[in-house]
């Protein structure tokens, strides 16, 4: 029977499908984003079959015997932490990031390490030739015999190569360059991305192959393509950082096999990505002694405590309305803290411009940073600096109270390990644990009490 073809219009921003052309997408509101695509009816109604020829059959849950396959650990412990302990066989991992941030470099290093553990790796590239990848691989390190390159974009050919080789790991660089010949739309369109990802998902789950997918991001910072792409995969990782800085942060935003709060920190060097073993020291090494508008906080990123410097610059406004600018901090949270400082601590901030940032390019969004933000604002406003050996932890309520936070023991141990001698924290966090030796723990109940203890009586 001849294959049926039908035309449909697909929004290139959100993936909304319409049988007729629309000037504006009714789902996301984008104008002129509907593109006509001819879809061939190539529905495969056969039972899903693995490389070994086994067919999937309905099975009772009580009869299912899970395979106890251990996670495969790479030599990058930061990546292992973000993945939840290592690479899970049969998982589909999506890594997104800005162009040139280091996605391909990271996966090339990981591919070499996985091949060195005895696994067979197939690196599929739709953006570079085999010669280009070979030159980059030689610069990054040793090359293993079980590391295979394949410069191809046709998913039919890629699937055939996977079936013939039966690799343990597959790298797809990138998903926006892969195409399904049955679909007439261009590479990178919503239909192409959706269908190629579905094919890779079937290969991963049916044959137990761990597949890593590189995904480009839009100017808004989200993965390019339909939103369902992130729903289909097991793990979504974002590789963040600024081009003009060497540090990179790998962050998990979805993980079916581990926590979504973990981050890994790397430094880009000539020989590739290198792990940052002590990120707290890196973020604090350029802090000026005696500078006003600076405070140190211990933020929890998953199970890892990280010391970060919060900086504030408060100056009288030259216009009618005061300006508020934040980098790495939530704008609404900063506005709330400034309102509490004005109402509960007597700081006249309504005619002051305020500029705040988390130094080092880190994004802080947990409640425990409130106290450090408030102290940095007060420090800049009063022109009094905090001591370089002091640290601040706590959440601020609307009535000016300092509320308890989680993981207080881990935070204080990290502070003590880096040589700090005093830490201000919520008074309700003092009970039930013993502070380490060599550090003074000061419990505070209100924001007014904290400012009096840190800066003395107000002028």
Average pLDDT, the chain: 86
Residues 208/71, Cβ–Cβ less than 8 Å? no
pLDDT tops 80 at residue 224: no
Nearest C-alpha neighbor of 442 from the set 379, 385, 358, 371: 371
Return the pLDDT at 155.
92
pLDDT tops 80 at residue 299: yes
Return the pLDDT at 91.
93
CATH number of 282-455: 3.30.230.10
Split at pLDDT 50, 70, 90, the class of 45 is very low
pLDDT tops 50 at residue 46: no
Task: For 120, list phi and psi in degrees, rounded to 5.
Answer: -100, 125
**E strand residue ranges, 100-216:** 121-125, 147-151, 169-173, 210-216
Residues 6+ apart with CB under 8 A from 121: 111, 114, 115, 144, 146, 147, 148, 167, 168, 169, 170, 171
Split at pLDDT 50, 70, 90, the class of 277 is confident
Tell me the pLDDT tens digit for each residue of 140-180: 876 778 899 999 999 999 999 999 999 999 999 989 899 98
Tell me the pLDDT tens digit for each residue of 112-128: 889 888 889 999 999 88
Residues 277/269, Cβ–Cβ less than 8 Å? no
Return the pLDDT at 307.
92
Tell me the pLDDT tens digit for each residue of 144-154: 788 999 999 99
Q: Report CA Rg, the chain.
A: 26
* 35-44, 231-240, 320-329, 337-346: segment of lowest average pLDDT: 35-44
Return the pLDDT at 63.
84
Return the pLDDT at 221.
56
Return the pLDDT at 27.
85
Return the pLDDT at 338.
96
Most confident of 41-50, 79-88, 264-273: 79-88
Split at pLDDT 50, 70, 90, the class of 4 is low
Using DSSP's 3-state secondary structure scheme, residue 162 falls into helix
* 6-15, 292-301, 330-339: segment of lowest average pLDDT: 6-15
Return the pLDDT at 203.
92
Return the pLDDT at 359.
86
- More confident of the two residues 233 and 11: 233
Return the pLDDT at 222.
62
d(CA 441, CA 156): 63
* 98-112, 279-293, 352-366: segment of lowest average pLDDT: 279-293
Task: For 157, list phi and psi in degrees, rounded to 5.
Answer: -70, -35
**H-type alpha helices, 41-143:** 77-83, 103-116, 130-140
pLDDT tops 80 at residue 181: yes
Split at pLDDT 50, 70, 90, the class of 54 is low
* 15-19, 405-409, 417-421: segment of lowest average pLDDT: 15-19
Average of per-residue pLDDT across 416-421: 90
d(CA 164, CA 87): 23
Return the pLDDT at 1.
44
Annotation: CATH topology of 73-276: Rossmann fold (3.40.50)
Nearest C-alpha neighbor of 301 from the set 265, 337, 270: 265
Q: Is-cis flag, bond preceding 139, omega within 30?
A: no
What are the domain boundaries of the chain? 1-41, 73-276, 282-455
Tell me the pLDDT tens digit for each residue of 353-379: 999 999 877 888 899 999 999 999 999
Return the pLDDT at 53.
54
Residues 257/83, Cβ–Cβ less than 8 Å? yes
pLDDT tops 80 at residue 43: no
Return the pLDDT at 226.
58
Using DSSP's 3-state secondary structure scheme, residue 424 falls into strand
Residues annotated in a binding site: 97-104
Residues annotated in a binding site for ATP: 97-104
């Amino acid at each position: 029977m001849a294959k049926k073809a039908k035309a449909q219009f697909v929004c290139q921003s959100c993936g909304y499908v319409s049988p007729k052309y629309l000037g504006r997408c009714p789902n996301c509101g984008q104008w002129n984003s509907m593109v006509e695509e001819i879809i061939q009816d190539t529905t495969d109604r056969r039972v899903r079959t693995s490389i070994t020829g086994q067919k999937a059959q309905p099975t009772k849950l009580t009869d299912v015997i899970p395979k106890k396959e251990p996670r495969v650990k790479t030599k990058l412990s930061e990546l292992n932490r973000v993945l939840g302990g290592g690479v899970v066989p049969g998982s589909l991992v999506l890594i997104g990031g800005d162009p040139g941030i280091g996605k391909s470099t990271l996966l090339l290093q990981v591919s070499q390490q996985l091949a060195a553990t005895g696994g067979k790796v197939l690196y599929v590239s739709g953006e570079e030739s085999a010669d280009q990848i070979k030159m980059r691989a030689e610069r990054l390190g040793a090359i293993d015999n079980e590391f295979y390159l394949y410069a191809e974009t046709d998913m039919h050919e890629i699937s055939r190569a996977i079936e013939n080789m039966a690799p343990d790991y597959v790298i797809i660089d990138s998903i926006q360059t892969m195409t399904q010949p049955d679909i007439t739309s261009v590479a990178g369109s919503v239909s192409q991305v959706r269908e190629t990802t579905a094919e890779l998902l079937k290969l991963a789950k049916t044959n137990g192959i761990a597949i890593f997918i590189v995904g480009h991001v839009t100017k808004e910072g989200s993965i390019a393509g339909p939103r369902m792409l992130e729903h289909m995969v097991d793990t979504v990782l974002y590789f963040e950082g600024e081009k003009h800085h060497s540090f990179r942060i790998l962050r998990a935003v979805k993980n079916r096999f581990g926590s979504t709060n973990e981050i890994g920190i790397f430094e880009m060097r000539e020989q590739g990505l290198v792990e940052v073993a002590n990120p707290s020291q890196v973020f604090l090494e350029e802090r000026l002694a005696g500078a006003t508008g600076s405070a140190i906080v211990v933020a929890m990123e998953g199970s890892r405590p990280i010391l970060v410097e919060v900086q504030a610059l408060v100056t009288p406004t030259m216009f009618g309305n005061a300006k508020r600018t934040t980098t790495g901090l939530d704008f609404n949270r900063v506005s709330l803290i400034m309102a509490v400082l004005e109402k509960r601590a007597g700081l006249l901030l309504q005619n002051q411009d305020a500029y705040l940032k988390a130094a080092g390019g880190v994004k802080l969004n947990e409640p425990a940073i409130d106290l450090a933000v408030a102290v940095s604002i007060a420090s800049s406003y009063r022109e009094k600096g905090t001591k370089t050996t002091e640290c601040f932890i706590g959440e601020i309520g609307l009535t000016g109270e300092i509320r308890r936070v989680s993981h207080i023991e881990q935070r204080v141990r990290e502070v003590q390990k880096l040589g700090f001698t005093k830490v201000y924290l919520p008074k309700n966090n003092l009970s039930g644990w013993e502070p380490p030796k060599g550090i003074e723990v000061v419990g505070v109940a209100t924001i007014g009490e904290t400012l009096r203890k840190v800066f003395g009586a107000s002028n």
